[in-house]
Structure 1
Amino acid sequence: MNENTPFSQTVGYINRGSLDSELTETLSELVQAVRDTRKAGSITLQLKVQMLSANNEDTVKITPNIKSSIPQHEQPQAIFWSTADGDLLRNDPKQSELDLKTVPANGANQNLKSIN
């Protein structure tokens, strides 16, 4: 049986427990986003282990790096017409525009009464 310190306990020691807290918070955020968007996400923990000094083979330093991929909601799309010079237009330049005017609500009702 292996007598090494459990990985979960070591993570709790790194940066006086702040790594464990950050991972807990990131996991909670990820789970909420997955439930909300119904899309997959991920968390990656990278632990860089290197010698603290060349003079002491017993001392190592561990540098954590957390990367997360939190799913996002789909953004609404917009449709534009493009021109040869790279401009974007909201309306189709090949379609003519009608000169429409807003009719006041009171005026419309009066016209209906006079017809009857």
Structure 2
Amino acid sequence: MTTTKSAEDKQTEAPDFAATLLNLAKGKTHAELSTQLAELVTAVTTTLKPGKLTLTLQVKPQHGVDGAVLVTAAVASTKPKFEAPASIFYATDEGRLVRDDPNQASLY
């Protein structure tokens, strides 16, 4: 036995999250998320390190309008970075950095 929803049930049923996301900021939030996700995936596959994409939604009441809320979205990503290669130096007694060991005699 299948049940069908009445028009009243459909009106009170909340839209799914994806539909809400598409409507945030006239679709700009969805577009920004899509762009940043593609950039993040490229960075992760290039560096072989993890990254993060975060969507934060702030929901607050709209003063003076019963039942209305303001929804603001913030998108942030943390992309992995290549580690800068390290270089070996030797410290002299004067506090300078030199490439050759000052305690070893020169061979030439």
User: How does the TM-score come out when normalised to structure 1?
Assistant: 0.69
Q: Residue 63 of structure 1: which of 72, 75, 91 is its match?
A: 72
**How is 1:65-104 mapped onto 2 (pairs within 5 angstroms)?**
65-83=74-92, 87-97=96-106, 100=108
Larger Rg: 1 or 2? 1
Q: Residue 34 of structure 1: which of 23, 44, 66 is its match?
A: 44
Q: Residue 15 of structure 1: which of 22, 25, 29 is its match?
A: 25
Q: What is the SS of the residue equivalent to 1:56?
A: coil
For structure 2, the 5+ residue unaligned runs are: 6-11
Distance 1:62 1:88 in 2: 55
Distance 1:85 1:57 in 2: 73
Cα offsets for 1:76-106 (capped at 9, x unmatched)? 11122235665433333323445x5xxxxxx
Distance 2:75 2:45 in 1: 21
Q: What is the SS of the residue equivalent to 1:18?
A: helix
Q: Residue 47 of structure 1: which of 54, 57, 73 is its match?
A: 57
CA RMSD of aligned residues (A): 2.4
For structure 1, the 5+ residue unaligned runs are: 101-116
Distance 1:91 1:62, change over 3 A: farther
Of structures 1 and 2, the one with the larger relative CO (CA 8 A, separation 6+) is 2
User: How does the TM-score come out when normalised to structure 2?
Assistant: 0.73
Distance 1:11 1:80, change over 3 A: same
Q: Residue 3 of structure 1: which of 13, 28, 40 is its match?
A: 13
